Structure 1
Protein backbone atom coordinates (compact mmCIF):
# COMPACT_ATOMS: atom_id res chain seq x y z
CA UNK A 1 0.00 0.00 0.00
CA UNK A 2 1.46 3.32 -1.09
CA UNK A 3 1.02 6.57 0.79
CA UNK A 4 -0.54 9.20 -1.53
CA UNK A 5 1.70 12.17 -2.38
CA UNK A 6 -0.33 14.52 -0.16
CA UNK A 7 0.26 12.15 2.76
CA UNK A 8 3.99 12.02 2.00
CA UNK A 9 4.02 15.82 1.92
CA UNK A 10 2.34 16.03 5.33
CA UNK A 11 4.75 13.47 6.79
CA UNK A 12 7.76 15.38 5.42
CA UNK A 13 6.45 18.73 6.66
CA UNK A 14 5.76 17.17 10.05
CA UNK A 15 9.29 15.82 10.22
CA UNK A 16 10.59 19.30 9.46
CA UNK A 17 8.86 20.60 12.61
CA UNK A 18 11.55 18.82 14.59
CA UNK A 19 14.22 21.06 13.07
CA UNK A 20 14.62 24.78 13.61
CA UNK A 21 12.14 27.50 14.42
CA UNK A 22 10.28 29.92 12.21
CA UNK A 23 11.45 33.51 12.18
CA UNK A 24 10.18 36.55 10.32
CA UNK A 25 13.45 37.21 8.43
CA UNK A 26 13.65 33.59 7.28
CA UNK A 27 9.96 33.57 6.35
CA UNK A 28 10.65 36.63 4.21
CA UNK A 29 13.48 34.78 2.45
CA UNK A 30 11.36 31.66 1.93
CA UNK A 31 8.24 33.49 0.72
CA UNK A 32 9.29 33.86 -2.96
CA UNK A 33 10.06 30.15 -3.24
CA UNK A 34 6.77 29.27 -1.60
CA UNK A 35 4.91 31.65 -3.93
CA UNK A 36 6.66 30.22 -7.02
CA UNK A 37 5.87 26.69 -5.86
CA UNK A 38 2.23 27.61 -5.35
CA UNK A 39 2.06 29.23 -8.78
CA UNK A 40 3.59 26.13 -10.38
CA UNK A 41 1.04 23.87 -8.69
CA UNK A 42 -1.89 26.09 -9.65
CA UNK A 43 -0.66 26.29 -13.25
CA UNK A 44 -0.46 22.50 -13.42
CA UNK A 45 -3.96 22.10 -12.01
CA UNK A 46 -5.22 24.63 -14.54
CA UNK A 47 -3.67 22.65 -17.38
CA UNK A 48 -5.36 19.45 -16.26
CA UNK A 49 -8.68 21.27 -15.79
CA UNK A 50 -8.51 22.84 -19.28
CA UNK A 51 -7.85 19.40 -20.76
CA UNK A 52 -10.79 17.98 -18.82
CA UNK A 53 -8.71 15.23 -17.25
CA UNK A 54 -8.01 14.11 -13.71
CA UNK A 55 -5.25 15.45 -11.51
CA UNK A 56 -5.92 12.88 -8.79
CA UNK A 57 -2.70 10.90 -8.30
CA UNK A 58 -4.59 8.10 -6.60
CA UNK A 59 -6.87 7.58 -9.63
CA UNK A 60 -4.44 8.01 -12.51
CA UNK A 61 -6.45 5.36 -14.35
CA UNK A 62 -9.06 8.08 -14.91
CA UNK A 63 -6.66 10.09 -17.10
CA UNK A 64 -8.53 10.97 -20.29
CA UNK A 65 -5.95 13.26 -21.90
CA UNK A 66 -2.19 13.60 -22.00
CA UNK A 67 -1.36 17.19 -21.06
CA UNK A 68 1.96 18.31 -22.56
CA UNK A 69 1.67 22.09 -22.77
CA UNK A 70 2.09 24.91 -20.26
CA UNK A 71 4.23 23.95 -17.29
CA UNK A 72 3.97 20.32 -18.37
CA UNK A 73 6.16 21.19 -21.36
CA UNK A 74 9.03 21.67 -18.88
CA UNK A 75 8.40 19.05 -16.21
CA UNK A 76 6.28 15.91 -16.25
CA UNK A 77 5.59 16.33 -12.53
CA UNK A 78 4.90 19.99 -11.78
CA UNK A 79 2.61 19.29 -8.83
CA UNK A 80 5.24 17.14 -7.10
CA UNK A 81 7.89 19.72 -7.93
CA UNK A 82 5.64 22.37 -6.36
CA UNK A 83 5.24 20.29 -3.18
CA UNK A 84 9.01 19.73 -3.02
CA UNK A 85 9.56 23.48 -3.45
CA UNK A 86 7.12 24.19 -0.62
CA UNK A 87 9.05 21.77 1.60
CA UNK A 88 12.35 23.50 0.73
CA UNK A 89 10.73 26.85 1.56
CA UNK A 90 9.57 25.40 4.89
CA UNK A 91 13.12 24.25 5.70
CA UNK A 92 14.44 27.72 4.79
CA UNK A 93 11.81 29.40 6.93
CA UNK A 94 12.85 27.19 9.85
CA UNK A 95 16.55 27.88 9.22
CA UNK A 96 17.27 24.18 9.17
CA UNK A 97 19.75 22.29 7.00
CA UNK A 98 18.57 18.98 8.55
CA UNK A 99 15.06 20.07 7.55
CA UNK A 100 16.11 19.37 3.95
CA UNK A 101 16.37 15.63 4.67
CA UNK A 102 12.57 15.17 4.62
CA UNK A 103 12.54 16.95 1.24
CA UNK A 104 14.98 14.38 -0.11
CA UNK A 105 12.85 11.60 1.36
CA UNK A 106 9.70 13.06 -0.21
CA UNK A 107 11.31 13.37 -3.65
CA UNK A 108 12.73 9.84 -3.44
CA UNK A 109 9.42 8.29 -2.33
CA UNK A 110 7.36 10.15 -4.92
CA UNK A 111 9.86 9.46 -7.71
CA UNK A 112 10.24 5.74 -6.98
CA UNK A 113 6.67 4.99 -5.98
CA UNK A 114 4.03 7.35 -7.30
CA UNK A 115 5.73 8.61 -10.47
CA UNK A 116 6.76 5.12 -11.54
CA UNK A 117 3.17 3.89 -11.10
CA UNK A 118 1.76 6.88 -12.97
CA UNK A 119 4.20 6.43 -15.84
CA UNK A 120 3.18 2.79 -16.25
CA UNK A 121 -0.48 3.76 -16.55
CA UNK A 122 0.27 6.64 -18.93
CA UNK A 123 2.44 4.42 -21.14
CA UNK A 124 -0.35 1.86 -21.33
CA UNK A 125 -3.06 4.45 -21.96
CA UNK A 126 -1.28 6.82 -24.37
CA UNK A 127 1.46 4.59 -25.85
CA UNK A 128 3.79 6.24 -28.37
CA UNK A 129 2.43 9.71 -27.61
CA UNK A 130 3.49 9.36 -23.96
CA UNK A 131 6.84 7.78 -24.93
CA UNK A 132 7.66 10.78 -27.15
CA UNK A 133 6.63 13.17 -24.36
CA UNK A 134 8.76 11.30 -21.81
CA UNK A 135 11.80 11.51 -24.12
CA UNK A 136 11.26 15.24 -24.62
CA UNK A 137 10.41 16.35 -21.06
CA UNK A 138 12.21 15.27 -17.85
CA UNK A 139 10.44 13.96 -14.79
CA UNK A 140 11.34 16.93 -12.62
CA UNK A 141 12.64 19.98 -14.50
CA UNK A 142 14.54 21.12 -17.60
Structure 2
Protein backbone atom coordinates (compact mmCIF):
# COMPACT_ATOMS: atom_id res chain seq x y z
CA UNK A 1 0.00 0.00 0.00
CA UNK A 2 1.26 3.48 -0.88
CA UNK A 3 1.95 5.60 2.18
CA UNK A 4 -0.19 8.40 0.69
CA UNK A 5 -3.14 6.15 -0.10
CA UNK A 6 -6.36 7.61 1.25
CA UNK A 7 -4.89 11.11 1.64
CA UNK A 8 -5.88 13.49 -1.20
CA UNK A 9 -2.31 14.81 -1.50
CA UNK A 10 -2.82 17.47 -4.24
CA UNK A 11 -5.52 19.54 -2.51
CA UNK A 12 -3.80 19.17 0.87
CA UNK A 13 -0.47 20.27 -0.63
CA UNK A 14 -2.16 23.20 -2.37
CA UNK A 15 -3.84 24.38 0.86
CA UNK A 16 -0.54 24.00 2.75
CA UNK A 17 1.25 26.07 0.08
CA UNK A 18 -1.50 28.70 0.23
CA UNK A 19 -1.19 28.91 4.01
CA UNK A 20 2.58 29.25 3.67
CA UNK A 21 1.99 32.12 1.24
CA UNK A 22 -0.14 33.86 3.86
CA UNK A 23 2.91 33.98 6.09
CA UNK A 24 4.86 35.96 3.49
CA UNK A 25 4.94 39.76 3.48
CA UNK A 26 2.57 41.77 1.31
CA UNK A 27 4.02 44.11 -1.28
CA UNK A 28 3.02 47.75 -1.11
CA UNK A 29 3.13 49.04 -4.69
CA UNK A 30 0.50 48.64 -7.43
CA UNK A 31 -1.92 46.78 -5.16
CA UNK A 32 -4.96 47.43 -7.42
CA UNK A 33 -3.12 46.22 -10.54
CA UNK A 34 -1.98 43.11 -8.69
CA UNK A 35 -5.53 42.36 -7.59
CA UNK A 36 -6.87 42.60 -11.14
CA UNK A 37 -4.07 40.40 -12.51
CA UNK A 38 -4.51 37.90 -9.67
CA UNK A 39 -8.26 37.73 -10.27
CA UNK A 40 -7.76 37.04 -13.98
CA UNK A 41 -5.18 34.31 -13.27
CA UNK A 42 -7.42 32.77 -10.60
CA UNK A 43 -10.44 32.78 -12.92
CA UNK A 44 -8.52 31.04 -15.70
CA UNK A 45 -6.97 28.56 -13.30
CA UNK A 46 -10.28 27.77 -11.65
CA UNK A 47 -11.88 27.26 -15.05
CA UNK A 48 -9.11 24.83 -15.98
CA UNK A 49 -9.65 22.79 -12.81
CA UNK A 50 -13.43 22.72 -13.30
CA UNK A 51 -13.12 21.76 -16.98
CA UNK A 52 -10.84 18.85 -16.09
CA UNK A 53 -13.10 17.69 -13.26
CA UNK A 54 -16.11 17.91 -15.58
CA UNK A 55 -14.36 15.84 -18.25
CA UNK A 56 -13.51 13.12 -15.74
CA UNK A 57 -17.11 13.05 -14.50
CA UNK A 58 -18.52 12.94 -18.07
CA UNK A 59 -16.21 10.04 -18.94
CA UNK A 60 -17.09 8.21 -15.71
CA UNK A 61 -13.51 7.80 -14.52
CA UNK A 62 -12.04 8.28 -11.07
CA UNK A 63 -11.35 11.69 -9.56
CA UNK A 64 -9.40 10.12 -6.69
CA UNK A 65 -5.73 11.14 -6.88
CA UNK A 66 -4.87 8.44 -4.34
CA UNK A 67 -6.00 5.65 -6.70
CA UNK A 68 -4.78 6.44 -10.23
CA UNK A 69 -4.88 2.74 -11.08
CA UNK A 70 -8.68 2.92 -10.88
CA UNK A 71 -8.87 5.09 -14.01
CA UNK A 72 -11.35 3.51 -16.38
CA UNK A 73 -10.82 5.89 -19.31
CA UNK A 74 -7.81 7.82 -20.61
CA UNK A 75 -9.15 11.37 -20.96
CA UNK A 76 -7.14 13.15 -23.65
CA UNK A 77 -9.43 15.87 -25.01
CA UNK A 78 -10.43 19.33 -23.84
CA UNK A 79 -8.26 20.63 -21.01
CA UNK A 80 -6.42 17.29 -21.00
CA UNK A 81 -5.28 18.11 -24.53
CA UNK A 82 -3.52 21.22 -23.17
CA UNK A 83 -1.78 19.42 -20.32
CA UNK A 84 -1.73 15.85 -19.05
CA UNK A 85 -2.35 17.37 -15.61
CA UNK A 86 -4.75 20.29 -16.03
CA UNK A 87 -6.04 19.95 -12.47
CA UNK A 88 -2.53 20.41 -11.06
CA UNK A 89 -1.78 23.21 -13.52
CA UNK A 90 -4.98 24.89 -12.33
CA UNK A 91 -4.11 24.43 -8.66
CA UNK A 92 -0.63 25.81 -9.32
CA UNK A 93 -2.28 28.71 -11.16
CA UNK A 94 -4.40 29.49 -8.12
CA UNK A 95 -1.20 29.64 -6.08
CA UNK A 96 0.37 31.88 -8.74
CA UNK A 97 -2.66 34.18 -8.48
CA UNK A 98 -2.20 34.32 -4.72
CA UNK A 99 1.52 35.08 -5.12
CA UNK A 100 0.73 37.89 -7.56
CA UNK A 101 -1.82 39.30 -5.11
CA UNK A 102 0.67 39.12 -2.23
CA UNK A 103 3.20 41.02 -4.30
CA UNK A 104 6.35 39.63 -2.69
CA UNK A 105 8.99 37.31 -4.08
CA UNK A 106 8.67 35.10 -0.99
CA UNK A 107 5.08 34.24 -1.96
CA UNK A 108 6.46 32.45 -5.05
CA UNK A 109 8.45 29.93 -3.00
CA UNK A 110 5.41 27.81 -2.01
CA UNK A 111 4.33 27.76 -5.69
CA UNK A 112 7.67 26.19 -6.57
CA UNK A 113 7.37 23.75 -3.67
CA UNK A 114 3.89 22.69 -4.77
CA UNK A 115 4.93 22.18 -8.40
CA UNK A 116 8.02 20.23 -7.37
CA UNK A 117 6.06 18.01 -4.97
CA UNK A 118 3.34 17.30 -7.54
CA UNK A 119 5.87 16.67 -10.32
CA UNK A 120 8.19 14.37 -8.39
CA UNK A 121 5.74 12.48 -6.19
CA UNK A 122 2.10 12.65 -7.22
CA UNK A 123 2.37 12.85 -11.01
CA UNK A 124 5.17 10.30 -11.21
CA UNK A 125 2.99 7.81 -9.32
CA UNK A 126 -0.02 8.55 -11.49
CA UNK A 127 1.98 8.19 -14.70
CA UNK A 128 3.29 4.81 -13.61
CA UNK A 129 -0.27 3.60 -12.97
CA UNK A 130 -1.56 5.02 -16.27
CA UNK A 131 1.29 3.47 -18.26
CA UNK A 132 0.41 0.10 -16.74
CA UNK A 133 -3.31 0.56 -17.35
CA UNK A 134 -3.36 2.09 -20.86
CA UNK A 135 -0.01 1.03 -22.36
CA UNK A 136 0.67 2.30 -25.87
CA UNK A 137 -2.28 4.72 -25.87
CA UNK A 138 -0.76 6.46 -22.84
CA UNK A 139 2.68 6.55 -24.47
CA UNK A 140 1.15 8.27 -27.55
CA UNK A 141 -0.67 10.73 -25.31
CA UNK A 142 2.58 11.56 -23.49
CA UNK A 143 4.34 12.14 -26.82
CA UNK A 144 1.79 14.75 -27.92
CA UNK A 145 0.70 16.43 -24.66
CA UNK A 146 3.04 18.01 -22.08
CA UNK A 147 3.07 17.04 -18.42
CA UNK A 148 2.56 20.70 -17.41
CA UNK A 149 2.51 23.37 -20.16
CA UNK A 150 4.69 24.08 -23.19
CA UNK A 151 4.36 25.30 -26.78
CA UNK A 152 2.08 22.34 -27.60
CA UNK A 153 -0.36 23.66 -24.99
CA UNK A 154 -0.79 26.92 -26.90
CA UNK A 155 -1.57 25.03 -30.09
CA UNK A 156 -4.02 22.72 -28.29
CA UNK A 157 -5.72 25.69 -26.60
CA UNK A 158 -6.22 27.41 -29.94
CA UNK A 159 -7.84 24.30 -31.40
CA UNK A 160 -10.41 23.95 -28.56
CA UNK A 161 -11.30 27.63 -28.20
TM-score in same-fold range (> 0.5): yes
Match of 1:52 among 22, 44, 60: 60
1:80 maps to 2:88? yes
**Cα separation, 1, equivalents of 2:98 and 2:25:** 10
Aligned to 2:100, the other structure's residue is in SS state: helix
Candidates 71, 87, 100, aligned match of 1:92: 100
* C-alpha distance in 2 between matches for 1:75 and 1:58: 20
Q: Distance in 1 between matches of 2:58 and 2:137?
A: 19
Matched residues in 2 for 1:22 and 1:55: separation?
37
Query: Gapped runs of 5+ residues in structure 1?
Result: none
- 1:22: how far off? 8.2
Match of 1:10 among 12, 15, 20: 15
TM value normalised by structure 2:
0.83
8 Å CA contact 2:14, 2:114 repeated in 1: yes
| TM-score of the two chains, using structure 1 as the length reference | 0.94
Distance (Å, rounded) in 1 between the aligned partners of 2:71 and 2:61: 6
Q: Mapping of 1:1-142 within 5 angstroms?
A: 1-2=3-4, 4-21=9-26, 25=32, 26-141=34-149, 142=153
Structure 1 runs (4+) greater than 6 angstroms displaced: none
RMSD value, Cα: 1.5
Structure possessing the higher relative contact order (Cα contacts under 8 Å, 6 or more residues apart): 1
